[in-house]
Structure 1
Amino acid sequence: MGVEQRVRALAEEKIADRPDLFIVEIKVINNTKVIILLDGDNGVGIHDCALVSRHVGYHLEEENLLDHAYNLEVSSPGLDTPLILDRQFAKNIGRNVTVKHLNGDKVEGTLLSADEESITVAHQVKAKGAKTKKAELVESKILKNSIAEVKVSVSFK
């Protein structure tokens, strides 16, 4: 079993009694940095991250999985981290998102729904040729396989 698989197993073991928590991603970079991104249906607290960090760190040392110095980071995904799991999309319904398509187009709007294959976003589209240039609210269903990334967007207006 590789380092990444063992880290995933240890993290899953620690959150097994917390069905509201889930692992978003685990990265092992050059066997010197281990990153665990945790999330929760209602968010994830620093206490949860600390518990997972202690558990994983203890076992990595005990099992001598990495025989040299390493950094272990356990955190929640930041706003700059794209949504990748269905559970992340579900918990962010109603929030503003920026969707980047594989072809480079962008759509900014409110995430209305998400399923395994697509997301639906309500966004403003300016009417073409209209002298008043009023924007119309439209709902677009976007297939996930046409999406490069989706990020929650924050407005400071």
Structure 2
Amino acid sequence: MSQRLLQLLEPIVTDLGYELWHLESTGAGRSSVLRLYIDSPDGIALEDCEKVSREVSATLDVEDAGGSEYQLEVSSPGLDRPLVTGAHFARFVGERARVNMFAPVDGKRKLRGTILAVNGDTVDLGCDDQTYSLSTGDMAKARLEPVFEA
């Protein structure tokens, strides 16, 4: 993800009263998608996404006068929100997460467990009576795993 894009958009989202939870860009050319996940202590409604989308779109139109095409998507991170940074994991210590690693750890690429502790960008994940210390930089993908009680 472009650090420049993050530095451009984060203040806009923050000024509107939201947290820019995550920013991802996929595809290329006409199939390029720029996805912003926004969050707020009060939750996110459709109107919030529309407000952020208008402001971000206007800013991108001005900044990218050369004009690359993209589809802009703004949404809530949801219950199974992506976890990208150490701060994301720290916010959910004690909760369950699914983590896919770029390279196997003890022969496993996919881990599911409880977030036990976070130190910087190192996450201690408790899985099957074992604790794994994982660097967020080694994670291909991580998501919060919501637990629904009957």
TM-score, with length taken from structure 1:
0.63
Q: Counterparts of 1:54 and 1:79 in 2: how far apart (Å)?
A: 25
Distance change in 2, residues 1:48/1:7 (3 Å):
farther
**1:12 and 2:15 correspond:** no
Taking the TM superposition and a 5 Å limit, the aligned residue runs for 1:121-136 are: 121-125=125-129
**1:116 and 2:120 correspond:** yes
Q: C-alpha displacement at 1:6, in angstroms?
A: 6.5
- Partner of residue 76, structure 2: 76
Instruction: Letter of the 1:95 partner, please give it.
Output: E
Which of 19, 22, 40 aligns to 2:20? It is 22
- Partner of residue 130, structure 1: none
**1:152 and 2:150 correspond:** no
- Partner of residue 142, structure 1: 133
CA contact (8 A) 2:27 2:33 kept: yes
Q: Counterparts of 1:115 and 1:41 in 2: how far apart (Å)?
A: 24
Runs of at least 4 residues of structure 1 off by over 6 A?
A: none
Instruction: Letter of the 2:133 partner, please give it.
Output: I
Q: Alignment identity in percent?
A: 28
Q: C-alpha displacement at 1:108, in angstroms?
A: 2.3
Q: Counterparts of 2:18 and 2:122 in 1: how far apart (Å)?
A: 23
CA contact (8 A) 1:10 1:56 kept: no
Instruction: Letter of the 2:119 partner, please give it.
Output: D
CA contact (8 A) 1:7 1:56 kept: no
Gaps of 5+ in 1: 126-137
Q: Which has the larger radius of gyration?
A: 1
Q: Counterparts of 1:72 and 1:42 in 2: how far apart (Å)?
A: 23
Distance change in 2, residues 1:86/1:15 (3 Å):
same
Instruction: Letter of the 1:16 partner, please give it.
Output: T
CA offsets, 1:45-68, max 9 Å, x none?
134322221012223345563647
- Partner of residue 92, structure 1: 92
Q: C-alpha displacement at 1:150, in angstroms?
A: 2.7
Range 73-82 or range 108-117, more displaced: 73-82
CA offsets, 1:14-33, max 9 Å, x none?
22336761342231632433
Q: C-alpha displacement at 1:90, in angstroms?
A: 1.8
